[in-house]
Amino acid sequence: MAEVGRGATSTPPAAPPTRDRQWLLTVLPASPLLLLLLRLWYLSRQNLQTMLLLVQDVSPLGLISTLLITLVWILPLVTLVGRTLGELLRASAAREDVDSLRLVRAGLRIPTWVVALSVVLAALTWQLRFLPLLLMMTLAVLGLGVRNTRRNPLLVQAVCVALPLAAAILAYLWLGPAILSSVRQGQAGTALLLILPPALAVLSTGPVPRRAARPLTSSIAMVAVLLTPFLVGASFLKAPILPTIAVEIDANPGDSTPPEVWIGYVISVNDRMTTLLDQQGTVRFVLNDQVMSETVCPDDGRLPTVPVTVHGWQVEQPMLSWIAPARRQATIDPRCQGRPLRQP
Amino acid sequence: MSAPGAQGESQAGPPATTVSRRRAVVRLLRLGAIVTAVVLVVVVGVTLLVRTGPPSKDDLMRQAGLVGKSQLLVGVLDDEPGISVRDPQTGQYSGFDIDMTYLVASDLGFDRASVRFLPIQSKDRARMQAQDGDQFVTVDLVAASYSITADRAAQPGVAFSASYLSTAQSVMTRRGHAPVQAWSDLQGERVCTITTSTSLLSAQQNVVKVYRNKVSECVDDLLAGKIDAVTTDAAILAGFVHAHPGELMLNALGVDFDEQWGMNVGDNTALRTLVDLSLYHSRYDSTDRRWEEAFDRDLRPEQHDSLPQEVANDRQPPVAKVRVREWPWQK
């Protein structure tokens, strides 16, 4: 980074008291583990015995995969917010201000290739309605970076003024129909997410008043640090970690009584018993001979809530879901509605 | 000490004070932009966490109490040919109301074997009480040529779905009766309808009114010569005319097609949304031909015998947009 040796004056600021922060390195790998345990505790409806059963049987690899898939969008968010704040403070305030804010300074230490990778990851994993925000942050990082390191005024003008203007015009041309559609349908949140960021991007590529820079960046960093655990927790607790299965159970396979249909999660199957956990947290053990059939039920947790699309792309779908082929389930399996496959 | 960015900006030509004032304004604007963006993210983020949008179909199925339900109980009439009639030999029901019930039931995940029809009297349609052997049971749905009116909708326990058929009131007489074009043509004659009918008969002064519990009882009386005319919806009467083409005929009263039939779901508002969703897809999905096929099978063949009266509108009535979370390809 070019900050080393630049801006240093005759009176160096008093070195802040160094504190031992090595414990943070221990906490970091422990937090996903804590999150996974919290998820199992939530799934077991806060029953310790059920939770122990889950810990014993649920595959850790499956859990970590779910954690990664659910939270992959948060990593670029943290990187980009950190870097944007760092560049903003560096462009707006004095060196000692930058040095005094560890959290913001850490953002400047993120390697450029990590930032570039984050932008790509975010473009793939963020919902379409957040892509204008990604555009704004990317342009801000780029513009502020150029302003902070290059002195060529023509380049600064091109990256900080011409590029955001061109990007905003292109974005509005592409998003126009979706903006109109969301306004017409009264979807204020979606409309604002599509309208504001491209326009604000034009203003986000330069320094802010020097006196405001430090309080602004530190307060945003603080809010982000406080909100991120809640965001992570809320999105992970809602994510499914086991597939929802409908099982037809016939306690007396010989007679004519219809089988009972049970909906929940299959925890484990051994050569004699199938262990089931229903959606109310009740554990049930069933003899394998009594299990007539099983089916996976669709998960409607990710159904879109906003009926707005951009050229056929639903605004709540990330690019990955949009380009990947989706299975379109047309008929409802009666077992997922609690009815046996065949009526007597 | 100045920021590096400031050095980049200070190379322009205008006087220094103008430049610095302009720069200060731009910086303030930038501050406003960043604060706006942060507020937007926080407000929208919180809103997204709190608001989950309209319910999904699965949510509605759970709210409607349909998950785990082995049979859908539907109250239907059993004496109206073409609309809803029970074959005494096989016990099977057939007709337009039956096909509409199958249409809705299949969208709710109930196959034909899981739909149980129970005969319901016209007077019990609001209370949703149908007869099951020697017992009366409360059904989940009533599809019994039930016209949507403000008075009926205001009754406790009545909630109508969107309309699935549009028809008009008509008068049926024996063949040979002088054509009836207005109520005055029936002056002094005995005219029958069902007790709970929305018929315009009740407003007429110069006719002898006869009330029965079932339309088929009126028709029996008409065929026996005990009465002179039967009045109710054309779609109901057309089935009887089609069954007795040489004996009965329909007369066009020249009134509007203002009889809109709906299903009664009682207090179950989630079920009403599901029924409306099913009717909405049937109305606006061009690949969904179930309504059209039902009309062609049950009502269109009756049209020839029913002239000059039109049996019913051959297009499904419009259905208001239903707010349900669905995948874009399900819409």
More confident residue, A94 or B43: B43
Please calculate the CA angle A157-A163-A169 and round it to the nearest 5 degrees. 135
Q: Where are the alpha helices (DSSP H) in chain A?
A: 22-43, 48-57, 60-71, 74-92, 95-100, 102-109, 112-125, 131-149, 153-157, 163-184, 188-203, 210-238, 319-323
| Predicted pLDDT at A260 | 85
- DSSP string spanning B199-258? -GGGG-SSSEEEEESSHHHHHHHHHTTS-SEEEEEHHHHHHHHHHSTTTEEEE-----S-
Is A300–B6 a contact, with Cβ atoms under 8 angstroms apart?
Answer: no
Q: Which residues in chain A are contacts of B278 at CB distance < 8 A?
A: none
Interval B66-80 mean pLDDT: 85
Best probe of the B interface among A98, A200, A230, A235, by most B CBs < 10 A, is: A200
Is A204–B40 a contact, with Cβ atoms under 8 angstroms apart?
Answer: no
Best probe of the A interface among B29, B58, B140, by most A CBs < 10 A, is: B58
Task: Please name the member of B29, B33, B325 whose beta carbon is closest to the beta carbon of A305.
Answer: B325
- Min Cα separation A48/chain B (Å): 28
Length of chain A: 344
| Predicted pLDDT at A166 | 94
pLDDT band at B102 (very low <50, low <70, confident <90, very high): very high
Q: Which residues in chain B are contacts of A312 at CB distance < 8 A?
A: 328
pLDDT of residue B3 exceeding 60, the answer is no
| Predicted pLDDT at A306 | 79
Residue A261 pairs in a beta bridge with: A248
Please calculate the CA angle A229-A231-A232 and round it to the nearest 5 degrees. 65
- Min Cα separation B63/chain A (Å): 12
Is B37–A136 a contact, with Cβ atoms under 8 angstroms apart?
Answer: yes
Taking a C-beta distance cutoff of 8 angstroms, is the pair A244, A263 a contact? yes
| Predicted pLDDT at A10 | 45
CA gap A202, A140 in Å, rounded: 9
- Helix or strand holding residue B273 (H, E): helix B269-284
Query: Could you tell me the CA-to-CA distances from B170 to A12, A323, B190, B321 in Å, in that order?
Result: 99, 57, 15, 31
Is A338–B69 a contact, with Cβ atoms under 8 angstroms apart?
Answer: yes
Best probe of the A interface among B51, B66, B67, B327, by most A CBs < 10 A, is: B327
B138 three-state secondary structure:
strand
| pTM for the structure as a whole | 0.71
Convert the pLDDT of each residue in A181-224 to its tens digit: 889 888 888 888 899 899 988 888 888 888 888 888 888 888 88
| Predicted pLDDT at A228 | 82
Task: Please name the member of B27, B51, B329 whose beta carbon is closest to the beta carbon of A209.
Answer: B27
| Predicted pLDDT at A229 | 81
Low-confidence stretches of chain A (pLDDT < 70) are 1-22, 24, 300-302, 325-331, 342-344
Burial zone of B74 (CB within 10 Å; 0-12 exposed, 13-18 middle, 19+ buried): buried
- Min Cα separation A340/chain B (Å): 8
B301 three-state secondary structure:
helix
| Predicted pLDDT at A209 | 85
Is A343–B3 a contact, with Cβ atoms under 8 angstroms apart?
Answer: no
Taking a C-beta distance cutoff of 8 angstroms, is the pair B265, B161 a contact? yes
| Predicted pLDDT at B8 | 42
Please calculate the CA angle B215-B219-B223 and round it to the nearest 5 degrees. 175
Q: Which residues in chain A are contacts of B1 at CB distance < 8 A?
A: 7, 9, 94-95
Q: Which A residues 100-159 touch B at CB under 8 Å?
A: 133, 136, 144, 147-148, 151, 153, 156
Token match 């303030």: residue?
A: B28
Q: Which A residues 197-216 touch B at CB under 8 Å?
A: 197, 200, 203-204, 206-210, 212, 216
Q: Which of A248-252, A290-294, B80-84, B251-255 is predicted with the least confidence, judged by mean pLDDT?
A: B251-255
Q: Which residues in chain A are contacts of B40 at CB distance < 8 A?
A: 192-193, 196-197
Convert the pLDDT of each residue in B197-232 to its tens digit: 666 666 666 777 788 888 888 888 888 888 888 888
Taking a C-beta distance cutoff of 8 angstroms, is the pair B167, B98 a contact? no
Is B30–A197 a contact, with Cβ atoms under 8 angstroms apart?
Answer: no
Contacts of A135 (CB under 8 A, 6+ apart): A167, A171, A197, A198, A201
- Min Cα separation B192/chain A (Å): 43
pLDDT band at B100 (very low <50, low <70, confident <90, very high): very high
Task: Please name the member of A91, A197, A339 whose beta carbon is closest to the beta carbon of B4.
Answer: A91
Please calculate the CA angle B204-B206-B211 and round it to the nearest 5 degrees. 60
Taking a C-beta distance cutoff of 8 angstroms, is the pair A68, A62 a contact? no
Please calculate the CA angle B148-B154-B158 and round it to the nearest 5 degrees. 65
Length of chain B: 331
Nearest CA in chain B to A149: B4
Q: Cβ of A181: how many Cβ atoms within 10 Å?
A: 19
Three-state SS annotation for B91-116: CCEECHHHHHHHHHHHHCCCCHHHEE
| Residue B321 C-beta-side C-alpha neighbours within 13 Å | 7
Best probe of the B interface among A108, A156, A203, A249, by most B CBs < 10 A, is: A203
Beta pairing class for B93-94 and A291-296: unpaired
| Predicted pLDDT at B203 | 66
- Cα A177 from chain centroid? 26
CA gap A129, A194 in Å, rounded: 6
CA gap A233, A71 in Å, rounded: 10
Task: Please name the member of A189, A210, A343 whose beta carbon is closest to the beta carbon of B114.
Answer: A343
Size of interface A-B (CB pairs under 8 A): 144
Q: Which residues in chain A are contacts of B113 at CB distance < 8 A?
A: 343
| Predicted pLDDT at A299 | 75
Is A203–B33 a contact, with Cβ atoms under 8 angstroms apart?
Answer: yes
Give the start-end residues of each E strand in chain B. 72-76, 79-80, 84-86, 93-94, 115-119, 129-132, 135-138, 141-142, 165-167, 169-174, 190-194, 208-212, 229-233, 248-251, 259-261
Convert the pLDDT of each residue in B129-173 to its tens digit: 888 878 888 888 998 888 888 888 888 888 889 899 988 888 888
Is A206–B24 a contact, with Cβ atoms under 8 angstroms apart?
Answer: no
